[in-house]
Amino acid sequence: MSAQSTPATLIDGKAFSVALVERVGAAVARLESAHGVKPGLAVVIVGEDPASQIYVRNKGETTLRAGMRSDTHRLADTTSQDELLALIAQLNADTGIHGILVQLPLPAHIDASVVLDAISPDKDVDGFHVVNAGRLAVGLPGLVPCTPLGCLMLLKDQLGDLSGLNAVIVGRSNIVGKPMAQLLLGESCTVTVAHSRTRDLPDVCRSADILVAAVGRPEMIKGDWIKPGATVIDVGINRVPSADPVKAAEGKTRVVGDVAFKEAVEIAGRITPVPGGVGPMTIGCLLANTYSAACRINNIQPEPLDA
């Protein structure tokens, strides 16, 4: 393993997101004063998963900070699929609501793909509707999933032009891996999507100028899988027992990424920390998407929100 002479630059997603939310807030204020449109985001959560409750609360607070309307619908985990679909139909028809987010995962008795595809594609601020996935795949304008969009913003801010770079994405989910691949292809990267069946995964990762880890396995990507100087984007948010055995025995946890950070920071050129990297960008991009949805629904040209 050939270590870099200096540790990697940390990519501060938290600071970037704070600035992004400020730009969204300024654009929202102008949208309201010039056109009388106040963007509204509805978040729907089914059941009581404590981690989900925290995300939903953070989203609600940040939405208000950007000057938008924020509605949270908390439904019992016994809610039927038809009841959930009825709420979505009501939100689709509500002219004060421009973004609808149904928090995942949903209880097992509900078919998530049916629910996500019931959201109007124009209000689908998660970008999970099959129509938005198709638009992204063929290069049409649409709503893009927040996490990969946030990763792309960080990469462009750090590296500028990405064309010709080798990008390796580890993970092929519809939520991160696949849309990330589409976005990086759109930037003219040479894209490889690796996954659990990929042969010689460490070698594939070592070919990456840009390595995006989105597998959901704590610290799976080791330092010697990284090309010296590469840019590493760690999408993983994994809760593991505290490093301190006494605290771990008390049930205390800590959050780690999909990358073995301590090793990786000695090899990579730039890396996102966990927490404070990609996670905050997801919420920033959710608000950016809600703003642009409000503009497009009202036939208004959105202001650019890039740095």
Ligand X SMILES: Nc1nc(=O)c2c([nH]1)NC[C@@H]1CN(c3ccc(C(=O)N[C@@H](CCC(=O)O)C(=O)O)cc3)C=[N+]21
Give the catalytic positions in this structure.
59, 103, 126
Q: Is 155 helix (H, G, I), strand (E, B) or coil?
A: helix
Min. distance of Cβ 260 from ligand X in angstroms? 17
Cβ contacts of 223-226, under 8 Å, gap ≥ 24: 223/1, 223/260, 223/262, 223/263, 223/264, 223/266, 223/267, 224/1, 224/263, 224/267, 225/201, 226/264, 226/267, 226/268
To the nearest 10°, the Cα dihedral for 139, 140, 146, 151? 30
- Rounded distance, CA 177 to CA 195, Å? 9
55 binds ligand X (CB under 6 A): yes
Indicate the annotated binding residues for NADP(+).
171-173, 237
Select 177 or 280, whichever has its Cβ closest to ligand X. Answer: 280
| Contact stretch for ligand X (CB under 6 A) within 84-92, 99-107, 133-141, 218-226 | 99-107
Shorter beta-carbon distance to ligand X: residue 39 or 284: 284
User: What is the pairing mode between strands 238-241 and 253-256?
Assistant: antiparallel
Q: Does an H or E element contain 12, and which?
A: none
Distance CA 251, CA 242 (A): 8
Among 40, 179, 279, 284, binds ligand X (CB under 6 A): 279
Please say whether the beta carbons of 136 and 144 come within 8 A: yes
Residues that contact ligand X, how many (by CB under 6 A) = 16
- Choosing from 107, 216, 218, 276, the residue that interacts with ligand X (CB under 6 A) is 276
Name residues contacting ligand X, limited to 140-169 (CB under 6 A). 146
How near is the Cβ of 226 to ligand X at its closest, in Å? 20
- Print the binding letters for residues 20-39 with ligand X: x by CB under 6 A, - otherwise: --------------------
For 297, the 3-state DSSP assignment is helix
CA distances from 117 to 34, 121, 146, 188, 296 (A): 33, 8, 17, 30, 19
Closer Cβ to ligand X, 21 or 267, answer by number: 21
Q: Is 257 in the site for ligand X (CB under 6 A)?
A: no
Minimal distance, residue 130 CB to ligand X, in Å: 15
Residue 35 or 252: the one with the smaller Cβ distance to ligand X is 252
Q: Does 179 bind ligand X (CB under 6 A)?
A: no
Binding residues for ligand X, rule: CB under 6 A, are 55, 101-104, 126, 146, 237, 255, 274-276, 279-280, 282-283
